[in-house]
Amino acid sequence: MSQHPENTATATGPASPENPGDAPHGEAGFTLIELIIGTFILVEMMVVGYLLFDVSTKTARVQSDLADLQQSQRVANYDLVRNVRMAGRGGVTGPVAINVTDNVDGDTFTVGGNEVVDGTDVLTVRGVLSNPIWLPNTGAGYTYDQGSSTGTLFVDSLNNQGIAQDLSLLQSVIDDGLPVPLVLVSLEDPSIYAVVLLSGGAIGPADIDNDGSVEPGEERATINFDAAAASTNNDAYLPLSWGGAFPQALAQGAVPAWVGILEEYRYYVRNDTESVTGGSPKLSRAQFYPNTNTLYRGDAANGRVDIADNVVDLQIALGLDLNDDGTIAEDDSAPDTDEWLFNHEDDTDTDQYWGLGDADGAWGNATLFQVRVSTLVRSERRDNTFISDYLPTLENHEVDPSPQPADNDQLADRRFRRRVMRSVVDLRNVS
């Protein structure tokens, strides 16, 4: 308590030199000049601050655009590569498994009623891609009647090796009467296969292990197929068979080695003209009944499953071993004569590869080893301080007409940041 008076004395003591109250009168405020200079400095600082803020905002935006672009491209390539890798699963080969519609005409070409960006490629992938592959019951029999071109086989909930088989897809396809194709693969020669209409059947309890009683879960699918040319979709299905028709090896009675439901997906760059923002092109995927233009389950939603935004180009090149030496020769200086199809504008000799069943040219006889998938993705927004690097071509498709943008349209295209991603897929199931 004895300290208090001293403290009080200090507080009420003589004014210190720092006390403004004691300052000379002339220094009490700012002169007009000082005010002007001070304001000027303040404005300068605000301008600098704004510029720094603006630069950092722009930098952040560019970085976020680049991150979006890379993410979009990863998603696109992941989905493409995964399905290309699976192409041919279930036994189908060559152009049946992988096909390309090269540099489509955007004015006329559509996929499932959707517009496609001009000059991009459409990639068709076929195989038993997401569906199960079943081993038919060898004891229950297999019939094929040459007169009516129809047959029957049996798939059990446990196969001959005692492994469980999921019959739910068969159940739903039969219940819904979907005109899907079966792939039947010959037991004698697995390179021989048929693609035929699944025409009906039934699934029900059966004593599949022959122990005299039907236990829970013991089920047998009776699958009817129809190889008559006039039957639904068979004009599209039968040509996908080995040799282009129902093969003799399967007509003569041996149980197929395995069976599956063939799927087909088409990847394309969708011209999103409905978007209110002017439409960013998208990588999209459509599912069809194979080799037809009928969407799976007749559902328009199966015509456009959008995978990634801002994908402006999809280009596919096929590595075909023309000289049978087991490798794909690449020659960047002579892409017109190497073993890649569709990496040069002179790679026009394509009908042989496409002609299902009548492949007779060099490309048509060659083994498909590799598929090269290239995507060009751009940022969501233009950056008006930026011109992207000159990209003359992506595979056999022209991207930039000239090194420097020659008009406003070309300049507008080059204002986007862009990125090419290229993946080479070694095919496991296609030979």
Question: Could you list the residues that contact Ca ion (CB under 5 A)?
Answer: 102-103, 121, 207, 209, 211, 315, 321, 323, 325, 335, 338, 340, 342-344, 347, 396-397
Kindly tell me which of 397 and 415 has the beta carbon lying closer to Ca ion.
397
Kindly tell me which of 180 and 318 has the beta carbon lying closer to Ca ion.
318
Shortest Å distance, C-beta 82 to Ca ion:
21
Rounded CA-CA distance 344/332 in Å is 10
Which residue's entry shows tokens 């059966």? 206
Shortest Å distance, C-beta 210 to Ca ion:
7
Kindly tell me which of 65 and 121 has the beta carbon lying closer to Ca ion.
121
CB 280, CB 310: distance < 8 Å? yes
Beta-bridge mates of residue 68:
none
What 3 state SS string does 13-76 have?
A: CCCCCCCHHHCCHHHCCCCHHHHHHHHHHHHHHHHHHHHHHHHHHHHHHHHHHHHHHHHHHHHH
CB 229, CB 180: distance < 8 Å? no
Rounded CA-CA distance 22/25 in Å is 9
Kindly tell me which of 54 and 351 has the beta carbon lying closer to Ca ion.
351
Shortest Å distance, C-beta 279 to Ca ion:
22
Shortest Å distance, C-beta 371 to Ca ion:
13
Residues 6+ apart with CB under 8 A from 31: none
φ and ψ at residue 207, rounded to 5 degrees: -85, 80
Shortest Å distance, C-beta 270 to Ca ion:
17
Kindly tell me which of 357 and 361 has the beta carbon lying closer to Ca ion.
361
Structure tokens at 339: 């073993």
Rounded CA-CA distance 146/142 in Å is 13
In the chain, the N- to C-terminal Cα span, in Å, equals: 101
Shortest Å distance, C-beta 215 to Ca ion:
5
Shortest Å distance, C-beta 346 to Ca ion:
8
Kindly tell me which of 108 and 385 has the beta carbon lying closer to Ca ion.
108
Kindly tell me which of 65 and 338 has the beta carbon lying closer to Ca ion.
338
Kindly tell me which of 142 and 342 has the beta carbon lying closer to Ca ion.
342
Shortest Å distance, C-beta 401 to Ca ion:
17
> 286: alpha, beta or left, given left = phi > 0 and alpha = psi -120 to 50?
beta
Shortest Å distance, C-beta 98 to Ca ion:
14
Structure tokens at 427: 């095919």
> What is the largest distance, in Å, between two alpha-carbon atoms of the chain?
125
Question: DSSP string of 139-159?
Answer: TT-EEEETTTTEEEEEEESB-
Shortest Å distance, C-beta 365 to Ca ion:
13
Residues 6+ apart with CB under 8 A from 86: 125, 127, 129, 429
Kindly tell me which of 176 and 324 has the beta carbon lying closer to Ca ion.
324
Beta strands in 128-248 (DSSP E): 133-134, 142-145, 150-156, 181-185, 193-205, 219-226
Kindly tell me which of 207 and 235 has the beta carbon lying closer to Ca ion.
207
With H, G, I as helix, E, B as strand and everything else as coil, classify residue 77: helix
